[in-house]
C-alpha cells in the first residue's frame, strides 16, 4: 500500500500552467505540440519531454527571464529570445538546440561558474543542484576567466535553525525572492545592490531570523543550488527515497513528500501535486517534524494503581489486559455508562472510527466525544441545520475566484498559513477584504494586502454584528431574490426577513453593542453583498462563544440571502483548527451521532450499525466532554480512554478538569508523550506519530488525504492496532489487518463515503467527500444544485443576539480573548519539542498601551490575570494590536495556564466552551501565580514518577 518512490525530482515545467481554454498548435524541434494559449515555449517543450536548459525559471513562480540559459530561436523572429518569457503562438516553429544556442549557453554558464565555488564533491547539494545539472547539460568544459571580483568569501547565515543561507553559492536567480513574494506573500527577501553587487538580502540586510521571514521554506524549495539548504541535508546528506503523506498539523492538510534515508526523515518537501497546498508549506509542516523522534517519546506501555505511584513499564499484553480489566471493573461497580472515551482531531479517520466503535460496541454506551467539542461543534450544528451538511461548502482553490473575502474570527496567516498565502495571492490580484476581528491580525495590513474594512468588534458580539450586516442587506434591497426563491425555504426566509429588518438589528442600533461604527458596518455589508463572488471564511473566533452556533447560523443566513453559495468563488468556509477536525467529526465521534452525522436514535441507522457490528447499540446520546467531568465529580463517570487529546491543558476552567481527572479510577491515555492528561493517568499506551502509521486525514475542505507510514512505530504498534487490542481484550472482537479495511467499512456504512477507497485515494491523490459511488471523484463544491437538507432547500433561522453572561464589571474590567501563533501548534506538545521555540518561547499577554499605562504595566512585566475562575501570570506585551479593554494571549504552553482563567460558559447548542470571552483584571505582579506554582510542583513530581518507570 505504501507508495515508495525513488527520489526522482518532481517534473519542473519551468513556468506555471496557463488556464486558457484556447489551444495553440506549434512545432518545437520539428515535433508538433498543442498547448493552451499563454503557455511559454519552455513549458510547451517540457510537455513533450524537451527540457530546455534553465536556472531562473521554475513552475512555482512567474517567469523572470534573467538567467538567459533558456534562449531559443523562433523561425522568422529576431535574436535569441528566452523561452521562459516567450509565449507560444499559432504556427510557431521553435528551435531549442543548435550550435549557436549551445555557444551562448556555454558562455553564460562559464560566467556563472566564474563566480561559484568549485567544491561540488563536498557540497551539500551535490546530486541535487540545478547549476551542476545545467553545467553538464550545456557541456561546459573550461572556465577561461581568472576572476578578481567574486562572492566566494560571502558569509554564511545560519541564524535559522532549519536552513542555512550561503551567499557564496548564490547565482542571484531571484527564485527565493520571487517565491517569498508570489508563493508565500511575505516579501521578506529582496535583492540588495545592483549589477555584480546584487545579492539576496533578508529584510534590510538582516539575518534570516531577524528579518520578517516566517520560515515557510518556499525559498529553500525554490533555490536551485546549495545556497538555501535544509540543515538536515547538510548534516545527513541527501535522502534516497520518498513517500507521499499528509501533514499532521492544521486543517489545511498539506500534502508532503517525506524524503527519507532508511527510516530517518531527512526532510519534508511540500508536494507540488498536493491539491490543498500546491507545493507550498509553512514552518510547522515543512520543518517541525523532529518531535517524532524526540527523547521525550514514550515507547513502552506503563501502568500504575494511583497517580501518586511511580509508573511501571510493562509489556503490551499486560498493559492492555490491565486497562481492559479496570474498565470492566468500573462498569461492574458504577454501571455501564460510567466509562467513555475522548478521541482527537489529531487522530486518523480510521483511528477515530474504531475508537467510537469500541465505545459504542465494546463499552456499550455512547460516551464518546472529541476535541471538536471545544472548537468547531457549533459549525457542525449550524451548517447542518441551515445547509443540511456539517461542513464547509468550498475547496480552497475557490478563493482564487472570490472578489470579496469576508474573514470573521479567523487568523489564516497564523492558523492556516498555507491557505493564508493563497488568500493573500488572491488579494494581491485585486480581491477586496473585510476582516471582522477584535484584534488587528496580520492580514489586516501586510505587504501589498490591506483590508478595505476592519470591523474591530468587541469580543462576544459576533451575532449582533453579522445581524447588522444582514439588516443592511435586507433594508437596502441587496438580497439575491432569485437565489432565495429558487434555492431556499421561502417560508423561513420571509420569517427571517421580518425579524432581521427590525430596527433593533440596524448598525446604528447595535453600534453600542459591537463598538463598530455604523457607517463601517453599512459599507462592509454593501461591499460583500454587491460582490460578484463573496466568500466567507471563519474560525474559532465565531464558534467558541456562548452563541457560537447562533453565529454560524448568522453567517449561513448572510451567504444565502446574497446568493453566495453553490458555485466557485463563494461559500461559507470554516477554517478547521487541527488536521482532522472535519474527519473526526465525520467519523461519528460525537455522543449523539454515528458516522456521517446520523443521530443515534435514528432507527434505520441504528439497526444498520447493529447488523454491521453484530451487537446491540444504545440509542441514547452519551456524555459530552464537560458532562463527563461533571459526572466524574458526581462519581458516575469513573473510567476514561483518551486518545491523542490533552484535555488537562486544552479544556476550559482547567481546575475543574483536573479535579474531575483526580476523581476517576482509571484514566487510559494513548499518546506519544507524557502529556498533561497523562499526569493524571493510570495506564499509558504509547502511540505512534503520523509518520509511523497508515490512515487518512480529512481537511477543512473535506479532502480525504493519505497518511503513510514512513518509519516503524517506535512503540511497536499503530494506534488503530492498540485500540483493536483493547477492544479484543474487552471482549468485542475486531480483526482488521490494515486501515484500508477500516475505510472500506466506513465507506460501506456511510452514504457520503460510499465511493471512497484507499485505491481511489492513491489514484487521485485525495478525494473530497461527498463521494457517493465508484464513479465519483468527489465534490469540491457543495450545494451546487440543491442543499443537502431533506427538502433540498436552505433554511433561514432566527438569530437573536443574547449577550454572554460573562460581563465586565469594576472587578473584572477587561475581556481576555485567545488565539494562536504561526510557529506553535495548539497545546504545543509537538512544536514545543522542535526548534520552533526559536520563534515563540512563551505565551504573553497582549495589552493595549492605555490599559497598560493605567495599571503601570511596562512591556515585559509579569502581570497577573485574574478571572472569576482563577488566576495566572504571564509576561506583558504592550501593543495597540488589541483594542482598549481587550487583552489577548495564546495557549501553547501548559505552564501559561490560560485555561485556569477561562470559564465554564459554553455554547447553548453544543457546549463548545466560550474560550474567546473571559472578564479579567490585570495587575503587575512579581511572581507566578499560586496555581502555576502548584502546577509546577505537580508536574515535576509526575516527571519524577516517570523517570522511576524505567528503573522499576
Partner 1 sequence: MSITLYVPCDSSAVSVGADRVVNAIAQEAEKRGVEIKIVRNGSRGMYWLEPMVEVVTEKGRIAYGAVNASDVSSLFDADFLNGGSHALSLGLTEEIPYFKKQQRLTFARVGITDPVSLEDYIAHDGYRGLKNALEISQADIVKHVSDSGLRGRGGAAFPTGIKWNTVLNTQADQKYIICNADEGDSGTFSDRMIMECDPFVLIEGMTIAGLAVSATQGYIYLRIEYPHAFEILNTAIANAYAAGYLGDDVQGSGRAFHLEVRQGAGAYVCGEETSLMESLEGKRGLVRFKPPLPAISGLFGKPTVVNNVISLASVPIILDKGGDFYRDFGMGRSRGTLPLQLAGNLKHPGLVELAFGVTLRELLYDFGGGSATGKPIRAVQVGGPLGAYLPESQFDTPLDYEAFAALWAVVGHGGIVAFDDTVDMAEMAKYSMEFCAEESCGKCTPCRIGATRGYEVMTEIVNKRDLDKNIPLLRSLCDTMLNSSLCALGGMTPYPVLSALNHFPEDFGVNVEHNAA
Could you list the residues that contact partner 1 (CB under 8 A)? 63-68, 71, 79-80, 82, 85-87, 100, 103-104, 107-108, 110-112, 114-115, 144-149, 171-172, 174, 190-191, 193-198
Q: How far is the CB of 110 from partner 1 (least distance, A)?
A: 8
Nearer to partner 1, 190 or 849 (CB): 190
Is residue 261 within 8 Å of 230, Cβ to Cβ? no
User: Residue 122 CB, nearest distance to partner 1 (Å)?
Assistant: 24
871-878 and 862-867 strand pairing: antiparallel
Task: Identify which of residues 32 and 146 has a Cβ nearer to partner 1 in the complex.
Answer: 146
| Residue 102 or 519 with smaller CB distance to partner 1 | 102
Contact present, 363 and 754 (Cβ < 8 Å): no
In the complex, least distance from residue 140 CB atom to partner 1, rounded to whole angstroms: 12
The C-alpha cell that represents 380 in the structure block: 457542525
Quick one: the chain helix, strand, coil %, rounded to 5? 35, 20, 45
The nearer residue to partner 1, 112 or 720, going by C-beta atoms, is 112
Question: What b/e sequence results for 47-57 when a residue is b if at least 16 CB atoms lie within 10 Å of its CB, and e otherwise?
Answer: eeebbbbbbbb
Instruction: Give φ, ψ of 134 to 5 degrees.
Output: -70, -35
* Gap between the Cα atoms of 469 and 524, Å rounded: 8
DSSP 517: -
- With respect to partner 1, which residue has the nearer C-beta, 47 or 85? 85
Nearest distance from residue 215's CB to partner 1, in Å?
25
Taking the least distance from each CB to partner 1, the nearer of 68 and 866 is: 68
Q: Which is nearer to partner 1, 149 or 790 (CB)?
A: 149
Q: What DSSP character marks residue 226?
A: S
Nearest to 74 by CA among 63, 89, 59, 62: 89
- How far, in Å, CA of 287 to CA of 934, rounded? 34
Least distance CB 207 / partner 1 (angstroms): 22
Q: Which is nearer to partner 1, 15 or 818 (CB)?
A: 15
Distance CA 539, CA 551 (A): 11
Residue whose CB is less far from partner 1, 191 or 497: 191
End-to-end, the C-alpha distance of the chain in Å comes to: 40
d(CA 884, CA 864): 18
Cα separation, 463 vs 546, in Å, equals 11
Q: CB-wise, 64 or 289, nearer to partner 1?
A: 64
Rounded least distance, CB 103 to partner 1, Å: 7
**Set of cell numbers at residue 434:** 473585510
Tell me how far, at minimum, the Cβ of 79 lies from partner 1, in Å: 7
Distance CA 704, CA 582 (A): 10
Which residue pairs from 323-326 have beta carbons closer than 8 angstroms and sit at least 24 positions apart in sequence? 323/641, 323/666, 323/668, 323/683, 323/685, 323/726, 323/729, 324/726, 324/729, 324/730, 326/639, 326/665, 326/666, 326/668, 326/682, 326/683
- How far from the centroid of its chain's Cα atoms is residue 168's Cα? 36
Closest distance to partner 1 from the beta carbon of 65 (Å): 4
d(CA 508, CA 472): 10
Smallest separation, CB 447 to partner 1 (Å) = 12
Residue 53 Cβ, how far from partner 1 at the closest point, in Å? Answer: 12
In sequence order, the 6+-apart residues with CB closer than 8 A to the CB of 713 are 688, 692, 693
Strand pairing category for 695-698 and 767-768: unpaired
**Residue found under cell 461604527:** 517
Shortest separation between residue 35's beta carbon and partner 1, angstroms: 17
Amino acid at each position: 500500500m505504501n507508495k515508495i518512490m525513488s527520489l526522482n525530482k518532481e517534473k519542473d515545467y519551468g513556468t506555471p500552467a496557463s488556464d486558457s481554454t484556447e489551444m495553440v498548435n506549434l512545432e518545437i524541434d520539428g515535433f508538433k505540440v498543442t498547448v493552451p494559449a499563454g503557455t511559454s515555449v519552455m513549458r510547451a517543450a517540457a510537455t513533450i519531454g524537451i527540457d530546455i536548459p534553465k536556472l531562473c525559471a521554475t513552475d512555482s513562480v512567474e517567469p523572470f527571464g534573467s538567467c538567459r540559459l533558456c534562449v531559443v530561436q523562433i523561425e522568422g523572429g529576431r535574436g535569441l529570445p528566452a523561452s521562459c518569457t516567450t509565449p507560444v503562438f499559432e504556427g510557431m516553429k521553435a528551435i531549442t538546440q543548435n550550435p549557436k544556442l549551445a555557444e551562448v549557453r556555454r558562455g553564460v554558464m562559464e560566467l556563472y561558474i566564474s563566480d561559484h565555488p568549485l567544491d561540488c564533491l563536498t557540497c551539500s547539494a551535490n546530486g541535487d543542484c540545478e547549476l551542476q545539472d545545467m553545467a553538464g547539460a550545456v557541456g561546459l568544459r573550461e572556465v577561461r576567466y581568472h576572476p578578481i571580483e567574486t562572492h566566494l568569501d560571502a558569509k554564511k547565515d545560519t541564524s535559522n535553525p532549519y536552513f542555512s543561507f550561503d551567499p557564496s553559492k548564490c547565482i542571484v536567480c531571484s527564485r527565493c525572492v520571487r517565491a517569498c513574494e508570489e508563493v508565500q506573500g511575505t516579501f521578506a527577501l529582496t535583492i540588495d545592490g545592483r549589477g555584480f553587487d546584487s545579492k539576496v538580502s533578508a529584510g534590510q540586510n538582516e539575518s534570516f531570523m531577524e528579518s520578517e521571514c516566517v520560515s515557510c521554506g518556499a525559498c529553500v524549495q525554490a533555490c536551485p543550488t546549495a545556497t538555501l539548504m535544509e540543515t538536515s541535508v547538510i548534516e545527513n546528506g541527501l535522502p534516497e527515497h520518498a513517500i507521499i503523506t499528509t501533514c499532521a498539523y492544521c486543517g489545511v492538510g498539506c500534502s508532503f513528500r517525506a524524503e527519507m534515508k532508511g527510516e530517518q526523515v531527512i526532510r519534508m518537501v511540500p508536494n507540488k501535486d498536493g491539491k490543498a497546498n500546491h507545493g507550498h508549506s509553512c514552518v510547522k509542516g515543512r520543518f517541525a517534524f523532529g518531535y517524532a523522534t524526540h527523547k521525550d517519546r514514550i515507547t513502552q506501555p506503563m501502568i500504575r494503581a494511583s497517580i501518586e505511584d511511580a509508573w511501571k513499564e510493562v509489556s503490551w499484553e499486560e498493559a492492555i489486559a490491565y486497562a481492559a480489566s479496570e474498565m470492566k471493573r468500573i462498569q461492574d461497580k458504577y454501571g455501564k455508562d460510567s466509562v467513555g472515551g475522548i478521541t482527537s482531531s489529531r487522530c486518523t479517520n480510521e483511528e477515530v472510527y474504531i475508537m467510537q466503535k469500541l465505545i459504542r460496541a465494546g463499552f456499550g454506551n455512547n460516551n464518546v466525544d472529541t476535541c471538536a467539542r471545544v472548537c468547531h461543534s457549533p459549525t457542525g450544528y449550524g451548517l447542518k441545520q441551515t445547509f443540511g451538511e456539517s461542513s464547509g461548502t468550498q475547496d480552497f482553490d475557490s478563493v482564487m475566484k472570490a472578489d470579496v473575502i469576508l474573514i470573521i474570527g479567523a487568523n489564516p496567516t497564523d492558523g492556516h498559513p498555507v491557505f493564508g498565502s493563497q488568500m493573500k495571492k488572491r488579494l494581491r490580484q485585486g480581491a477586496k477584504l473585510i476582516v471582522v476581528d477584535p484584534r488587528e491580525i496580520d492580514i489586516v495590513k501586510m505587504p501589498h494586502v490591506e483590508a478595505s474594512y476592519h470591523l474591530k468588534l468587541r469580543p462576544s458580539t459576533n451575532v449582533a454584528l453579522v445581524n447588522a450586516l444582514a439588516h443592511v442587506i435586507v433594508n437596502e434591497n441587496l438580497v439575491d431574490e432569485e437565489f432565495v426563491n429558487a434555492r431556499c425555504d421561502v417560508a423561513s426566509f420571509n420569517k427571517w426577513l421580518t425579524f432581521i429588518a427590525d430596527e433593533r438589528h440596524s448598525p446604528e442600533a447595535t453600534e453600542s453593542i459591537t463598538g463598530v461604527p455604523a457607517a463601517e458596518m453599512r459599507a462592509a455589508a454593501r461591499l460583500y453583498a454587491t460582490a460578484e463572488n463573496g466568500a466567507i471564511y471563519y474560525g474559532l473566533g465565531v464558534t467558541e462563544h456562548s452563541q457560537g452556533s447562533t453565529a454560524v447560523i448568522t453567517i449561513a443566513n448572510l451567504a444565502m440571502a446574497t446568493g453566495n453559495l453553490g458555485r466557485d468563488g463563494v461559500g461559507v468556509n470554516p477554517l478547521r483548527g487541527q488536521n482532522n477536525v472535519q474527519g473526526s467529526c465525520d467519523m461519528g465521534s460525537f455522543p449523539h451521532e454515528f458516522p456521517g452525522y446520523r443521530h443515534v436514535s435514528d432507527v434505520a441507522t441504528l439497526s444498520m450499525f447493529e447488523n454491521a457490528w453484530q451487537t446491540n447499540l444504545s440509542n441514547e446520546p452519551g456524555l459530552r466532554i464537560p458532562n463527563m467531568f461533571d459526572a466524574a465529580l458526581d462519581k458516575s463517570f469513573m473510567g476514561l480512554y483518551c486518545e491523542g487529546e490533552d484535555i488537562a491543558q486544552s479544556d476550559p476552567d482547567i481546575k475543574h478538569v483536573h479535579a474531575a481527572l483526580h476523581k476517576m479510577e482509571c484514566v487510559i491515555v494513548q499518546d506519544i508523550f507524557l502529556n498533561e492528561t497523562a499526569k493524571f493517568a493510570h495506564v499509558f499506551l504509547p502511540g505512534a506519530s503520523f509518520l509511523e502509521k497508515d490512515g487518512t486525514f480529512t481537511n477543512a475542505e473535506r479532502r480525504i488525504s493519505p497518511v503513510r507510514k514512513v518509519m516503524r512505530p517506535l512503540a511497536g504498534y499503530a494506534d488503530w492496532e492498540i485500540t483493536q487490542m483493547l477492544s479484543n481484550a474487552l471482549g468485542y472482537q475486531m480483526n482488521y489487518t490494515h486501515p484500508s479495511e477500516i475505510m472500506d467499512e466506513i465507506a460501506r456504512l456511510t452514504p457520503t463515503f460510499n465511493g471512497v477507497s484507499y485505491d481511489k485515494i492513491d489514484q487521485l491523490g485525495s478525494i473530497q467527500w461527498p463521494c457517493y459511488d465508484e464513479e465519483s471523484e468527489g465534490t469540491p463544491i457543495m450545494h451546487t444544485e440543491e442543499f443537502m437538507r431533506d427538502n433540498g432547500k436552505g433554511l433561514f433561522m432566527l438569530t437573536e443576539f443574547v449577550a454572554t453572561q460573562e460581563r465586565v464589571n469594576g472587578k473584572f474590567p477587561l475581556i481576555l480573548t485567545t488565539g494562536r501563533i504561526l510557529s506553535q501548534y495548539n497545546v504545543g506538545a509537538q512544536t514545543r519539542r522542535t526548534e520552533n521555540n526559536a520563534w515563540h518561547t512563551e505565551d504573553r499577554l497582549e495589552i493595549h498601551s492605555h490599559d497598560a499605562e493605567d495599571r503601570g504595566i511596562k512591556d515585559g512585566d509579569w502581570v497577573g490575570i485574574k478571572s472569576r475562575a482563577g488566576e495566572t501570570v504571564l509576561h506583558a506585551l504592550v501593543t495597540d494590536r488589541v483594542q482598549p479593554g481587550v487583552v489577548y494571549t495564546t495557549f501553547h504552553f501548559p505552564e501559561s495556564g490560560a485555561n485556569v482563567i477561562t470559564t465554564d460558559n459554553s455554547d447553548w447548542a453544543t457546549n463548545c466552551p466560550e474560550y474567546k470571552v473571559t472578564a479579567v483584571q490585570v495587575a503587575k505582579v512579581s511572581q507566578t501565580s499560586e496555581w502555576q506554582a502548584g502546577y509546577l510542583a505537580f508536574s515535576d513530581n509526575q516527571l519524577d514518577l516517570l523517570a522511576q518507570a524505567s528503573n522499576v
